[in-house]
Structure 1
Amino acid sequence: MDPISDIFRTMHITAFGQHRLEATAPWGLIQAKQANERLPPSGKRISPSDVAHFAMLSRGNCWLSVEGISDPIPLTGGDCFLLDRDTSIVMRDSPRTRPRSTFEEVAARANGHVAHYGGGGTPTTIVCGSFSFDRASLRPITQLLPNFILIKSDQARTLALHSTVQALASEMAEQAPGSGVVATRLAEVLFIQILRAHIASEPERNKGWLRSVFDPQLGAALSAIHERVHAPWTVESLAEAAGMSRSAFAARFKELLGQTPLEYVTGWRMQKAIQLLEQRDKKLIDVARLVGYESDAAFSKAFKRVVGANTGEYIKRGLAGQRDPDRAESPSL
């Protein structure tokens, strides 16, 4: 079990709000930070910290301004990016064009999954959408990733990514039976492909969790944890899996991941336990043993310490969230 597959399968990526923006010059749109909770089509409330947005140019050119980056970035057909909800951006046909609307406003006026905006000049087509990680997360998945990932069309591992985006744009344009389901699945695949391309193109710049996963030594230990989360892991046994001394392993793990090896093990055990509890088809002792505890008492104590609620309280809280009557908001970028 590789850690990336395990984490994304457990936290369950859901794509929503996909649309195709047909922009004509002059045009300029802003995506501001989002502080409010949102509801994807599943109806389950998610924290804004568990939302990410994507966009890819399938035709034309534009300029992208990103909060924290001094100079505007020129984008051409095939370029794409992923960003978290805490990052403000502006997209426009020219650095001199003043943005006058938000992505949210334009998406709300979309006809089906196609939105039109601009002054009627040179056309640009952008495929946009959002991702939610709607399993309850002890550590929001967006904390594991950079707040902004840019993939240029000439980078490594982009051929499959381009094919996916073109298929996604086609599904949104044709509106054939089942196109909504197909578009959602394609967007979910797109997320993994963006991540792969980012890892392949800038391995030396990856930090934290991503860098650890692809570190030959720490990556071996992380793979062992995710493959056998129920094993009686110790710092010594994880160091052995990494082929390192105990002290060197513990220090490097803390340096890159910001927590001790056993804190990571316990946190991931609780994340897997949350997934099992939500399925509601297993007894508490069975859940405890599946994540490495011999008794439900020991498991419950660890669960309360890490999650901040006992298992019964957690399940009730989750069910209450699923019954929330609020409607879904209009999609943004």
Structure 2
Amino acid sequence: MDLLNSVLQSLKIIDSSLGILELAPPWGFRRDTIPKDMATFIAPMSGSCLVRLDDGTTVEMKPGNAVLILRDAFDIVSADGSPTKSFVESWTAQGLPAMGPHIERSGPDYFCAIDHERPDEHRDRLLAVAVQAEDVAESPILGVLPQMISFDEKELEPALIGTVAQFVEAEHRQPNPGYNATAQQLANFLFIALVRNHVLSNGTDRASWIRGMSDRAIGHALKLIHQAFDKPWSLQNLARASGVSRSVFAARFRTLVGQTPMTYLAAVRMHAAAQLLIDGQPVSNVCQRVGYRSEWAFRKAFRQQFGMMPARYGKSLRG
């Protein structure tokens, strides 16, 4: 079983937006705190810009570079020192749609801040893709990614970015039926490909499943947990299946993953249970499918994790 494949498939993308930002320097925008379930991808198509997080981390971009931003507020400016205004307010003022699974777009979003009386002036054109995930039970993937991932020409797949950019440009000029479904799939593919690229190329310094999967014994245990979380795993039989002693396994797992094996197993089960409940599965079925032999024990564990009973959780999220 492919652990990375399993974790990436656990991400359920509920909405995405592709668009073009066309801006005349000097320009600058402030994007307030991003919800933890949203990621924003920005890549210059022409011109250049700076992206800066609140902690001071700054990336200078030109065609061939890109950034993926999660969870954190940021400034995007044409040059250092450019004044900023609210991106959300400017977006709304242009009548552009918000994010949400109920939104159906007929073409790419086009955000424009240029002087139409000066058609020959220099313009910066940026490809922007926003993706919103259904982060039930805090999906294993989003929480361990850094706030900003930067990509250079060597780390980007030119054909992939080029395909997305060409699609957005063509549909901006002439929208066609079926745009929304095509754009959603393309954005989803781009996001998953970027995350996969980052995990395979860089890993992470933080204790997480990403660090754990690089270790032979712990990586094997993680695969077993994700592949068969409904089995009655114990610390002892996970250690035995991984080929190391119980004490060595427990210590190494906690060091690399940042949790005990049983805590991690419970988190994986709760993530699966939450998704099943949102999909409308009855509590009794969910209990069995995620490895609990006692419905009472499952309800207790679920309430500790989410602060409400399983049936109420599923109903509230479906609403």
Deviation of the 1:11 alpha carbon? 4.0
Deviation of the 1:12 alpha carbon? 0.8
Paired residue for 2:88, among 104, 107, 124? 104
Change (3 A) 1:57 1:159: same
Taking structure 1 as the reference length, the TM-score comes to 0.80
Paired residue for 2:36, among 49, 54, 69? 49
Range that drifts further, 289-298 or 198-207: 198-207
Deviation of the 1:136 alpha carbon? 2.9
Aligned to 2:102: none
Q: Distance in 2 between matches of 1:305 and 1:11?
A: 23
Paired residue for 2:67, among 63, 81, 89? 81
Aligned to 1:286: 285
Range that drifts further, 200-209 or 5-14: 200-209
Deviation of the 1:166 alpha carbon? 2.0
Q: Mark the runs of 5 or more structure 2 residues left unpaired by the alignment.
A: 97-106
Q: Mark the runs of 5 or more structure 1 residues left unpaired by the alignment.
A: 35-47, 323-333
| Higher relative contact order (CA closer than 8 Å, sequence separation 6+) | 1
- Residue 213, structure 1, aligned to residue 213, structure 2: yes
Change (3 A) 1:97 1:27: same
Q: Distance in 2 between matches of 1:290 and 1:84?
A: 32
| CA offsets 1:36-73 (integer angstroms, 9 cap, x no match) | xxxxxxxxxxxx32222222222332222222235x42
Change (3 A) 1:158 1:254: same
Change (3 A) 1:142 1:135: closer
| CA offsets 1:72-115 (integer angstroms, 9 cap, x no match) | 42211132211223x2222222224222x232234331676111
Count of residue correspondences: 302
Q: Distance in 1 between matches of 2:213 and 2:24?
A: 42
- Residue 314, structure 1, aligned to residue 301, structure 2: no
Q: Distance in 2 between matches of 1:203 and 1:268?
A: 20
Aligned to 1:43: none
Q: Percent identity?
A: 29
- Residue 117, structure 1, aligned to residue 113, structure 2: yes
Deviation of the 1:265 alpha carbon? 0.6
The answer as to whether partners of 1:11 and 1:135 remain within 8 angstroms in 2 is: yes
Q: Distance in 1 between matches of 2:207 and 2:162?
A: 28
| CA offsets 1:214-238 (integer angstroms, 9 cap, x no match) | 4443222211111111111112222
The answer as to whether partners of 2:302 and 2:310 remain within 8 angstroms in 1 is: yes
Q: Distance in 1 between matches of 2:225 and 2:170?
A: 39
For 2:31, give the aligned amino acid.
Q
| CA offsets 1:207-257 (integer angstroms, 9 cap, x no match) | 533222344432222111111111111122222343333222212222233
Q: Distance in 1 between matches of 2:70 and 2:253?
A: 25
| CA offsets 1:123-147 (integer angstroms, 9 cap, x no match) | 2221223222225324685322111
Q: Distance in 2 between matches of 1:167 and 1:6?
A: 31
Change (3 A) 1:204 1:50: closer
Change (3 A) 1:191 1:139: closer
Aligned to 1:295: 294
Instruction: Calculate the aligned-residue CA RMSD, in Å.
Output: 2.7
The answer as to whether partners of 2:209 and 2:256 remain within 8 angstroms in 1 is: yes
* Partner SS state of residue 83, structure 1: strand
